[in-house]
Amino acid sequence: MIATGAAVVLVELGGGIAAAYGRYAATAPFARWLGPMVPAWFAWMFQESWSVLVPLALLPFSNPTCLVSPGNLALGGMFLTHYTYRSFVYPLRIRGGKPMPLGISSLAALFCFFNGYLQGRLWTALHVFSLDTAADRAFLACGGAIWLFGWCVNLHSDSILRSLRRPGETGYKIPRGGMFEYVSAANYFGEIVEWSGYAVASRFHVGCLAFALFTACNTGPRALHHHLWYLQKFEDYPRDRRALIPFVW
């Protein structure tokens, strides 16, 4: 997973190629080879839902000790809360979303299937995230707080982006408010913070940490592409905003 994330960074930053969906779908190289275009709501639901369905399908094969461990329940709750929203609520609230190539959505679905299996197996069968020591409890509390902050930023940023379009509109406007006052990709910032908190709560278990690192590698380059796109498209775009990390980058 980490190697895949590194490859994404190499292609998107080194090659200057943005993933071919959203505002970049029409201009991306080889876009016509990525399959037919499908509605944004369908693409998001199709690709993200595996992150919910696969862990639930693993429950009959679970380790009972894992299922009653508060640490496992907390980590599973973080993961499933995010992806239940992203799979079944967010797609139905999209306004004027650009169609997505089926090939891109299928690749995302493949990742979500794999990651859903990896994360689900961790908390249902492979590892007991115990809270026996004060350090265990501190990591969970700290990680949970970080995750919650990221989750709230992510939700609020989605709401701001959605409010920029009236029903039927498809154009782009400058997002304002919340973390958008500091970065161009506030929604990606929130998601990276979420999964960083998830990794902290797990005491940096390699499976959880790999997911957090992949998220940063996958969304970081796209955040930079968004930032440069906004600067080019809008003459009045705030010049003091950063791409992803407030005051830094």
β-pair partners for 182: none
CA dihedral 30, 11, 38, 81 (to 10 degrees): 170
What's the predicted TM-score (pTM) here? 0.92
Neighbours of 27 (CB within 10 A): 9
Instruction: Give the burial class of 235: count Cβ atoms within 10 A of its Cβ; 0-12 exposed, 13-18 middle, 19 or more buried.
Output: exposed
State the residue for tokens 């902050």: 149
SS3 at position 183: strand
Percent of the chain having pLDDT more than 70? 88
In this structure, what token pair is assigned to residue 40? 């944004």
CA–CA separation, 158 and 28 (whole Å): 24
The answer to whether the beta carbons of residues 100 and 169 sit under 8 Å apart is no
Which amino acid type is present at position 178?
G
Instruction: Average the pLDDT over 229-237 and give the result.
Output: 96
Q: What is the pLDDT of residue 16?
A: 60
Amino acid at position 146, single letter: I
How would you classify residue 241: left for phi > 0, otherwise alpha for psi between -120 and 50, otherwise beta?
beta
Distance CA 56, CA 112 (A): 13
What share of the chain in percent tops pLDDT 90? 80
Q: What angle do CA 29, 111, 242 make, to 5 degrees?
A: 60
Q: Is the pLDDT of residue 226 over 70?
A: yes
Position 18 pLDDT exceeds 70 = no
Alpha helix stretches (DSSP H) within the chain: 2-9, 40-48, 50-58, 64-67, 70-84, 90-93, 102-121, 134-163, 186-201, 206-233
Residue 101's beta-bridge partner residues? Answer: 37
Q: What is the pLDDT of residue 17?
A: 64
| Average pLDDT score over the chain | 91
Coil, helix or strand at residue 131: coil
Does the pLDDT of residue 187 top 90, yes or no? yes
pLDDT band at 168 (very low <50, low <70, confident <90, very high): confident
